[in-house]
A and B are shown apart, each in its own frame.
Chain A
Amino acid sequence: MIIDRTIAPPSQPIREVNLVEATTKYLSNGIPVHMIQAGKQPVLGIELLFRNGGIKHEALTGACFFTIKMLAEGTSSKTAFDISEYVDKYGAFLQLSPGVDYSSVDIYCLSKYAKELLQLLSELTSDPTFPEEELLKFKTIQQQRLKVNNEKPSVLASKKMKSVLFGSDHPYGRSMDAEDIERITSADLLSFYQDNLYAGFEIIVSGDVNEEVLLAIDQYFGKQPVAPKLHIQNGMPPFSPADGKKHIIEKPDSLQSSVRIGMPLFTKTHPDYHQVRLVNTILGGYFGSRLMKNIREERGLTYGINSGIVMHQEAGYFIIGTDVKKEFTQLVIDEVYKEIQQLRNELVDEVELITVKNYMAGRLLSSVDTPFALAEKFKNIYLYGLDYDFYKKYLNAINTIDADSIRETAEKYFVASQMKEVVVGGYA
């Protein structure tokens, strides 16, 4: 058989993406349980979602982080070791995730052990003791970790960019330092726990969700007291971005510069969100992006450069990140602005447009293939006041946008004069 290898085989566009949606029911005490029944493996993800338990809700820097992390360090009847051994014995994974807007405690387990792990989850979140001696050990560990992380150029650069955009005291901009860690006490944890975590959570369960699992959830969570109606606290202090455009952390011995270029953005509920996301993808959001082609594939100045959009509940930002050969730091920054300028001035050609559209639709299709990924998809709308229409609109926006509106979107939102620069390393 003679085949012409220069011609691509026929292909089809992605017209629809079917994703399994969450359904919600309420326990006898009113706690919402969001269920995603999907997948073939006998596994479960169980997440307790503390919507008032985020960093933005803390009065003292570090309170959220330490309280969430210390939930597994002791209860009235279990030591820290008992807890970790219990989790490991069932081959489960416990994930304690403090976050800026909300926090969560997750268990991933085989569904046959659902009951045992629900019991543990209930104990950790209803009866933590925050033992003094475990806190001291944990603080030492965090101090050491902080020292190591502060030597990593990419960590420093990302921290700096957050504080430049939002202000170093703002919940979206601040990072814990050694003094914050030193200052925190058991009493601080107990008070954050009582005010922000206790009796104030929702449950997300995904995977092999069967009747037995639901009964067990009710058994362990349906009887405990809850606040009459969870009042979600939003609202935050005004942003206080740093003055000036260029921010540098000098590292004379460094071989590379870790570079960030960023600017504030709206949130996910904004009508132009999907369009901005698409412009971002063209610029630096995938392997074939303009920044990758220019800085990596044409010039070989970096292992990677990408741009992304970070969406918090009450603000978002756009950020470009790369580690580059030090003497070319300024050249790379200049090229970034040139690429942005080009998106604002010139129309995207047909081939690139189709490539990006299909690529993005394909990523959506492949991002919903495990129950845990579906749980993320649910959180990504639910916590931002959106519904599943969001994904239909996303696909629709991708499929219908044209070169003119891409250029207009770039011109409206990708404004170089509003962007801030962070360099960890140097310019020469």
Chain B
Amino acid sequence: MIDFQEFTLDNGLRVLVHQDISVPMVTVNVLYDVGSRDEDEQKTGFAHLFEHLMFGGSVNIPFYDEPLQRVGGENNAFTSPDITNYYISLPAENLETAFWLESDRMLSLSFDPKVLEVQRKVVIEEYKQNYLNQPYGDATIKLKELAYTVHPYRWPTIGRTIQHIEDATLDDVKAFFHKFYVPNNAVLVVAGNVELETVKQLSKKWFGSIAAGEKYRRHLPAEPPQREKRQLEVIADVPVHAIYKAYHMPGRLHASYYTADLLSDLLGRSKSSRLYTQLVKKQELFSGINSYITGAIDPGLLVIQGKLNPGVSLEEVDQAIDSVVQEIQQGSVKEEELQKVKNQAESSIIFAEMELLNRAMNLAYATILGDPNLVNRESEMIQAVTTQQIQQAAREILHDSNASTVYYIPRHNGKA
């Protein structure tokens, strides 16, 4: 149970307070309701590049990090297809420093051209380090490109190509800031050793005078239902064969979201899962296999991915995955097995809530989903899933014409 209180400033900034006096710290989390799904398809990777620029100094404060470190704080941020999230952790008595820093960069950035030039290079190196210079590093990029035809989830948050990052201009930066980085498009969560009244007073003082922006209305193209299976073969400098399969599934707020989530757990969350038991342990086709969902707000993907053992063919393992799936479609998941993955999901929630930061981030995320109290209803929604629903979801989601499959084949296909 995460308890919280909330209020909204006149400029539309939503503020939530979660008190935990057992810790000496506070977490200040600012979530902007913008992700890579909101990008222009000719300017992908921009939400993430912009996140880097948020650390390059604001209108009244030349350096963001240093004043925070000077009061014992630390910060970071991440960008996803759906959101951009910034967080600070600092000693409770120095809370106001976080308000000062976060409000100034919401008020205005410095828009220093040098910052753009340097961060552009940094992001290109990040792109290489994480996606291009790693075996299978671009696998999920290729998988999403295949699975989505019109929805912006088809490009990765880091950007579709390095070219887009190279082409970004300062005008793009300013336009993006004025469109998305406004108080009425953000959620502020303050968690930890703090009083509601303090947060009210500090919020008014530091954020109250920031002007509201025009409300951003999201009109994203809906991904049409997939009608036939898609397949891509990638020949790459990888040491072993690998397979990636993606199936379209409902979005975050759909009634059967948690059913699909548990279905992916049953398939491939841990070592007692169906895929691992059947295909790694019994049939020895894979050296590892797992399944997960992308967890997106708009309709997302259920992914199955695995690396093959020597001497095993991709066609063979693809069929073997289908057989495991078919058993579930025929209703082989009984109460006890479902209860197992529910227990895993439930304890994961409890373990995650040990961290103050997770509580703060979850509250902010639930708020943009429409109701902060969703954080406290997750367990209930997981427990409500039935074996019949699992069977139905397996039939609706895990069929061939809903599947996109990427095969990775080693370029030097010697001894496999």
With contacts A140-B284, A358-B71 known, is A148 near B240, CB below 8 A? yes
Smallest beta-carbon distance A216→chain B, Å: 18
* 15 cross-chain CB contacts under 8 A: A5-B61, A11-B70, A11-B96, A40-B20, A41-B351, A81-B281, A109-B347, A148-B238, A151-B134, A256-B133, A302-B122, A303-B126, A323-B125, A359-B69, A369-B355
Q: Is B111 part of the contact surface with A, judged by Cβ < 8 Å?
A: no
Q: Is A343 part of the contact surface with B, judged by Cβ < 8 Å?
A: no
In Å, the complex CA distance between A3 and B239 comes to: 60
Q: Is B277 part of the contact surface with A, judged by Cβ < 8 Å?
A: yes
Task: Write the B357-393 contact mask toward A (1 if CB under 8 angstroms, else 0).
Answer: 0000000000000000000000000000000000000
Residue of B nearest to A207 (CB): B354
Residue of B nearest to A110 (CB): B347
In Å, the complex CA distance between A17 and B25 comes to: 11
- Which B residues are CB-close (under 8 A) to A302? 122, 125, 129
Identify 9 new A-B residue pairs, CB closer than 8 A, beyond the known A85-B272, A323-B128: A9-B96, A11-B71, A12-B93, A42-B350, A91-B347, A108-B351, A152-B135, A351-B70, A366-B74
Most B CB contacts (10 A, CB to CB) among A3, A11, A143 go to: A11
Q: Is B396 part of the contact surface with A, judged by Cβ < 8 Å?
A: no
Smallest beta-carbon distance B64→chain A, Å: 10
In Å, the complex CA distance between A14 and B205 comes to: 25
Most A CB contacts (10 A, CB to CB) among B59, B70, B96, B97 go to: B70
Q: Is A296 part of the contact surface with B, judged by Cβ < 8 Å?
A: yes
Q: Quick check: A144 and B122 within 8 Å, CB to CB?
A: no
Q: Is A341 part of the contact surface with B, judged by Cβ < 8 Å?
A: no
- Which A residues are CB-close (under 8 A) to B100? 5, 8-9
Smallest beta-carbon distance B54→chain A, Å: 14
Please pick, from B136, B272, B307, the residue contacting A88 in the complex, using a CB distance under 8 A. B272
Contact residues of A between 97 and 116, Cβ < 8 Å to B:
108-110
Q: Is B172 part of the contact surface with A, judged by Cβ < 8 Å?
A: no
Residue of B nearest to A325 (CB): B125
In Å, the complex CA distance between A87 and B347 comes to: 12
Q: Quick check: A354 and B356 within 8 Å, CB to CB?
A: no
- Which B residues are CB-close (under 8 A) to A140? 284, 287, 309-310
Q: Quick check: B347 and A303 within 8 Å, CB to CB?
A: no
Residues of B within 8 A of A (CB): 20, 22-25, 59-61, 65-67, 69-74, 89-91, 93-94, 96-97, 99-100, 103-104, 107, 117-123, 125-126, 128-130, 132-136, 204-206, 208-209, 237-240, 270-272, 277, 280-281, 284, 287-288, 307-310, 339-341, 343-348, 350-351, 353-356
- Which A residues are CB-close (under 8 A) to B69? 286-288, 355-356, 358-359, 362
In Å, the complex CA distance between A41 and B354 comes to: 7
Please pick, from B119, B135, B347, B354, the residue contacting A148 in the complex, using a CB distance under 8 A. B135
- Which A residues are CB-close (under 8 A) to B97? 8-9, 11
Residue of A nearest to B344 (CB): A91
With contacts A300-B120, A302-B125 known, is A88 near B25, CB below 8 A? no
Contact residues of A between 59 and 105, Cβ < 8 Å to B:
80-81, 84-85, 87-93
With contacts A3-B206, A5-B61, A137-B281 known, is A14 near B346, CB below 8 A? no
With contacts A9-B100, A324-B125 known, is A39 near B354, CB below 8 A? yes
Most B CB contacts (10 A, CB to CB) among A12, A80, A355, A372 go to: A355
Contact residues of A between 361 and 412, Cβ < 8 Å to B:
361-363, 365-366, 369-372
- Which A residues are CB-close (under 8 A) to B287? 140-141, 143-145
Q: Is A334 part of the contact surface with B, judged by Cβ < 8 Å?
A: no
Q: Quick check: B350 and A362 within 8 Å, CB to CB?
A: no
Task: Write the A307-323 contact mask toward B (1 if CB under 8 angstroms, else 0).
Answer: 00000000000000001
With contacts A81-B277, A355-B70 known, is A288 near B65, CB below 8 A? yes
Q: Is A232 part of the contact surface with B, judged by Cβ < 8 Å?
A: no
- Which B residues are CB-close (under 8 A) to A303? 122-123, 125-126, 129-130
With contacts A91-B343, A256-B125, A361-B72 known, is A366 near B25, CB below 8 A? yes
Q: Quick check: B132 and A5 within 8 Å, CB to CB?
A: no
Q: How many interface contacts (CB-CB < 8 Å) are there between A and B?
A: 214
In Å, the complex CA distance between A81 and B272 comes to: 6
Q: Quick check: A323 and B133 within 8 Å, CB to CB?
A: yes
Contact count band on A: 35 or more
- Which A residues are CB-close (under 8 A) to B72? 13-14, 358-359, 361-363, 365
Q: Is A253 part of the contact surface with B, judged by Cβ < 8 Å?
A: yes
Please pick, from A6, A362, A369, the residue contacting B23 in the complex, using a CB distance under 8 A. A369
Q: Quick check: B91 and A147 within 8 Å, CB to CB?
A: no
In Å, the complex CA distance between A141 and B284 comes to: 9
Q: Is A150 part of the contact surface with B, judged by Cβ < 8 Å?
A: yes
Q: Quick check: A366 and B89 within 8 Å, CB to CB?
A: yes
- Which A residues are CB-close (under 8 A) to B356? 369
Task: Write the A1-30 contact mask toward B (1 if CB under 8 angstroms, else 0).
Answer: 101011011111110011000000000000
Q: Quick check: B239 and A147 within 8 Å, CB to CB?
A: yes
- Which A residues are CB-close (under 8 A) to B343? 88-91
Smallest beta-carbon distance B43→chain A, Å: 20
Q: Is A422 part of the contact surface with B, judged by Cβ < 8 Å?
A: no
Smallest beta-carbon distance B325→chain A, Å: 20
Q: Quick check: A88 and B344 within 8 Å, CB to CB?
A: yes
- Which B residues are CB-close (under 8 A) to A80? 271, 281
Residue of B nearest to A425 (CB): B133
In Å, the complex CA distance between A286 and B65 comes to: 10
Q: Quick check: B350 and A151 within 8 Å, CB to CB?
A: no
- Which A residues are CB-close (under 8 A) to B288? 141, 144-145
In Å, the complex CA distance between A298 and B284 comes to: 50
- Which B residues are CB-close (under 8 A) to A84? 270-272
In Å, the complex CA distance between A148 and B238 comes to: 7
Q: Is A54 part of the contact surface with B, judged by Cβ < 8 Å?
A: no
In Å, the complex CA distance between A108 and B348 comes to: 10
Smallest beta-carbon distance B190→chain A, Å: 15
Q: Is A270 part of the contact surface with B, judged by Cβ < 8 Å?
A: no
Pairs of residues from A and B, 5 with the lowest C-beta to C-beta distance, nearest first: A362-B72, A300-B121, A91-B347, A144-B287, A91-B343
Q: Is A153 part of the contact surface with B, judged by Cβ < 8 Å?
A: yes
With contacts A84-B272, A148-B307 known, is A3 near B344, CB below 8 A? no
In Å, the complex CA distance between A110 and B343 comes to: 10
Q: Quick check: A254 and B133 within 8 Å, CB to CB?
A: yes
Residue of A nearest to B130 (CB): A303
